[in-house]
Structure 1
Amino acid sequence: MKKGIVVLFVLAVLAAGAAWVMSAPTRMSEQETNALKSGDPVSGELVFWAGGCASCHAAPDAKGDDLLKLGGGLRLETPFGVFVSPNISSSEADGIGAWSLADFANAMTHGTSPDGRNYYPAFPYTSYARMSDTDVGDLYAFMKTLPAVEGEAASHELGFPFNIRRGLGLWKRLFLDPSPVIAAPVSKGDVDQALWERGRYLVEGPGHCGECHTPRDFAGGLVLSEWLGGAPAPTGDGRIPDITPVDGKFGSWSAADIAYYLESGFTAEYDSVGGEMVKVQENMARLPSGDRDAIAAYLKAIPVVEPNAN
């Protein structure tokens, strides 16, 4: 009996040790870090709008230059608790002004803080992990030009076990994957491969469209087999629509309809954008027209998610 208890104890200790090791925050390799280059802030501004940084980190009613004051504070109420967007302004005391490029890149692509903690995936690093080193460097250069906003944002409001950050290391092993979600376009007539791939990059990477438009499993990870097939709103009531090319819904829009919607906010049915999509559309309107065309090309040539799938 005693021998069995000892064996169980040893196994428990080994399991706990393995979990501790596997849950450790990850970082870029030394080779990857050495390859990073602080880039062009002009190009970085386009990455900033594509990534929707102001939508979460500026004041909710911000307009004009106030969109560049990233003091955080937005409360995101979710089934896991309340997440509060942090100050990511250039303030050295309260924002990210003291971060190195490596600190920034590790946060964006690994979800790891400069002091070695796992970030919660309310920060969509699972999508940003697909960003190129060039875009990360350009974005870093642009963020350094933004005004400092003093004041630290409030803390998250999370109960057990979600307040244990270390456990997120195991979550990231399951759901943090920088590879593309959709390997190749679904054949729908002539597809411009380069345009489609640019759209894939914007949608799956900086645009992080899947974070809202794709359903999640019980652990909060995206169900990639239902990519962009619509999902319950991550905050509040309602449902985020299916934006796959399913017949009778969004799929009835042409690529030109989609691109025009992203530019103007007007739908193919002569309605106007509403809800949380307003900020997304306003961000997309700042991109070059070719990028909006690329997003449209991608959305018209991805697998359909049938309405009964979720």
Structure 2
Amino acid sequence: MTPPALHSSIGLVGGHAATDHVPSTVAPAPAEAPAPAPVRRSRGRRLHPAWGLLLPVLALAAVEALVRVGTVPAHLLPPPSEIAATLAQLAQTDLLWHVLASSLRVAAGYAAGALLGIVIGAAVGLDARIATLLDPTFQALRAVPSLAWVPLLLLWLGIDEAPKLVLIAIGAFFPVYMGAASGIAGVDRKLVEVGRLYRLSGAALAWRVLLPAALPSLLTGLRNGLSLAWMFMVAAELIAASKGLGYLLSDGRETGRADIVLAAILLLALLGKASDTLMRRLEIRLLAWRDDLARSA
């Protein structure tokens, strides 16, 4: 029988006896690196949204003061008080119809352009062959300014509503197309493989995997397309229109009324901001699952 003292000095290495002493202590495992702290926006307490009015109010007050003291000619830059009076005067006549006409044109043109942008952008993002065929042409057309389309549309469609709506749809199409194409093409391949592993059908894979993953990029494209729709609407109404905010801009320029021009610009800014705020709220609701930098503040 082997003495107990011998057990502490005999080990088996590869099936052979060894007389090396076994260390009495075991080296401690290396400590795990601490988890990185979450990145936060470098700011203090969140400001109330009303603080966003500070800069416009200061700018309006400065313009009012400069015009009142005679530093800036009133016929070139009317004071805000005069612009407010012009808006009140227009509101008693046909201002509502101008706002309504422009808003309806933007809504119709944006809906058509955004829908077409989503469909074609999704096809380009899903199929490399379609992207090779279509994307170079769309990238070239995307660089064409809005006013360059106006003469061609007037020749093709006349001076009725059709060229205005088509021009607005063109303005909305390209940002939405870019958002949809880049969003779907940028979906992580591992997510698609997991969906196929769970035997999802094509429609289920698109609805449960591709769409949620591409949604941030798509919503950004929709917001950019909405702002461009308002800009293209002005270009359309400046050329041939009898009502709308673009018509007010043209009428103020032809009559030398800077107050009407600035009133129309102010209304465009307010309508654009209101529509963008609605899109932003929709974006926040649809992307509530995302843990981004804005929510970490």
* TM-score, normalised via structure 1 length: 0.22
* TM-score, normalised via structure 2 length: 0.23
Of the two structures, which has the highest relative contact order with CA contacts closer than 8 Å and spacing of 6 or more? 2
Whose radius of gyration is greater, 1 or 2?
A: 2
